[in-house]
Chain A
Amino acid sequence: MSTSDPWPGTATSGRPEPRRSLLVCAVVGAAVMAAVDEIVFHQLLHWHHFYDRSTSGVALLSDGLLHTAELLALVAGLFLFADLRRRRALAPGHAWSGVFLGAGAFQVFDGIVDHKVLRVHQVRYGVDVTPYDWAWNTAGLLLLLAGSVLWVRARAAGARRPS
């Protein structure tokens, strides 16, 4: 930690805020997962289609809202994270569990609601999509599982070290 404080007086007691750390990092995790989806599957692999011919009006609207919300969440999450760091209130264990929970929640939501319920687009076209759907949603569930394990461990560590 550098000794020069850009915001003198803002570093309060430095007591960690586990709940806020988890929530803020969940927002960042979800937004980063969304960015990965956009960059890897839309732009690099060209697996996802920009527009699926079966896309309905509701799906377009939800896609537009979700896409814009992802961008705003990425910016907001990073600044909220910077604020936690500035106040020395970041609880690292909870923060990491938040990243995985957020990323997993986005992945599962995208895999089930966007791909299957609203049918905005599919994982890949021109092939049997079933294994891709299974891989997609299993990856999301694994991320959620990892986040949950980290959360339980962070809580246990917090209980051992009462403030």
Chain B
Amino acid sequence: MGARPRRRGAAAVVTAGPVAAPLVLACVLAAVGYAVGAARLRRRGDAWPWRRDCAVVAGCAAVVWGLAGPVPGGPFTAHAGRHLLVAMAGPALLAAGRPLTLVLRLLPPGAPRRGLLRVAHSPAAGWLLFPPVAAAVDLGGLWLLYRTDLWAAAHRDPLAGGLLELHMLLAGLVLAMAVCRLDPVRGRCGLPLRAVTLLAAGAAHAVLAKSLYVAGPPGTAFAAADLRAGARLMYYGGDAVEVFLALVLAVQWYAAAGRRRARRAASVAVGAR
């Protein structure tokens, strides 16, 4: 135990700064709140699959691990691992649990529920959750972080680093929600646009990861081996999250195609009668 705080000090405390502790607390509360809410839904007879509880608890655990847990590897590899947990795997799992749907089902009719619906259906939310915009915000921020002096600035000022971490988490969540489209938000968005957005975002992530293999963020001097291990982790870790999101889309399509065909068959049967 004695050696651990010193070893992970640089990567853990500097990136998340003063935002880490409240964020960890929020994640734990969110996981507990979700589980309690889902249990209430089931008690009153709603169908709420357990896999959604599992997704949200795993998502919260991923974020907490990324913010506060031990991560192996050199400083840049550890950063890539944390980034993968906080800004990609965690948000994707959280979005798969349909958090907004759960809250809307739990809230009784009244001002809080109306307010939440107003926000979810507002033009601003519609724009932010338009997949290309969500991807531009998330990946644009990532490119700025690794290819401008933002990295150096965020590592000088702990508060700026913490806010950056929070931004990455939220931007990842918005992108995952925009692509998966599992919650009732403003605007319908077809599968092709969401799939193309996932492709473009995945490609941008892969290109950035490969470019980091040879050139780290400006103003940093990571050891070459560390930089390479981190870039590989970013590249293949991004793949895993992409495949997860692609599976969500594919399952949606498969179920919708089955329903469409069943409807058509039913209407043909009615017409023949």
Spell out A's residues near B (CB within 8 Å): 7-10, 12, 50-51, 53, 55, 60-61, 63-65, 67-69, 71-72, 74-76, 78-79, 82-83, 86-87
Shortest beta-carbon contacts, A-B, top 10: A68-B202, A64-B206, A9-B265, A64-B207, A64-B203, A75-B246, A79-B250, A7-B258, A65-B203, A10-B261
Contact of B246 among A10, A72, A82, A83 (CB under 8 A): A72
Q: Is the CB of A68 within 8 A of B203?
A: yes
Q: Is the CB of A60 within 8 A of B254?
A: no
Whether, in the assembled complex, B10 has its beta carbon less than 8 Å from a beta carbon of chain A, the answer is no
User: In the complex, which residues 154-212 of chain B have their Cβ closer than 8 Å to any Cβ of chain A?
Assistant: 195, 198-199, 202-207, 210-211
Contact of B254 among A53, A64, A74, A83 (CB under 8 A): A83
A87–chain B nearest beta-carbon distance, Å = 7
Contact of B266 among A9, A74, A76, A87 (CB under 8 A): A9
Q: Is the CB of A86 within 8 A of B206?
A: no
Q: Is the CB of A72 within 8 A of B242?
A: yes
Q: Which residues of B contact A65 (CB under 8 A)?
A: 199, 203
B96–chain A nearest beta-carbon distance, Å = 15
Given A51-B213, A71-B242, 16 further pairs, Cβ under 8 A? A7-B261, A7-B262, A10-B261, A10-B262, A51-B214, A51-B231, A60-B207, A60-B211, A61-B203, A64-B206, A65-B199, A72-B195, A72-B199, A72-B242, A75-B246, A79-B254
Whether, in the assembled complex, B239 has its beta carbon less than 8 Å from a beta carbon of chain A, the answer is yes
Can you pick out 10 interface pairs between chain A and chain B where the beta carbons lie within 8 Å of each other?
A12-B265, A50-B231, A63-B210, A68-B203, A68-B242, A72-B202, A83-B254, A83-B257, A86-B258, A87-B261
A8 and B239 alpha carbons, distance in the complex (Å):
35
Greatest chain B CB density within 10 A among A10, A64, A65, A67 is at A64
A74 and B232 alpha carbons, distance in the complex (Å):
21
Whether, in the assembled complex, B225 has its beta carbon less than 8 Å from a beta carbon of chain A, the answer is no
Q: Is the CB of B247 within 8 A of A75?
A: yes
B92–chain A nearest beta-carbon distance, Å = 14
Q: Is the CB of A50 within 8 A of B210?
A: yes
Residue ID in chain B nearest A120 by CB atoms: B210
Q: Which residues of A contact B205 (CB under 8 A)?
A: 64
A55 and B215 alpha carbons, distance in the complex (Å):
13
Q: Is the CB of B265 within 8 A of A72?
A: no
B202–chain A nearest beta-carbon distance, Å = 4
Contact with A along B11-45 (1 / 0, CB 8 A): 00000000000000000000000000000000000
A90–chain B nearest beta-carbon distance, Å = 15
Q: Is the CB of B198 within 8 A of A72?
A: yes
Q: Which residues of A contact B231 (CB under 8 A)?
A: 50-51
Q: Is the CB of A64 within 8 A of B204?
A: yes
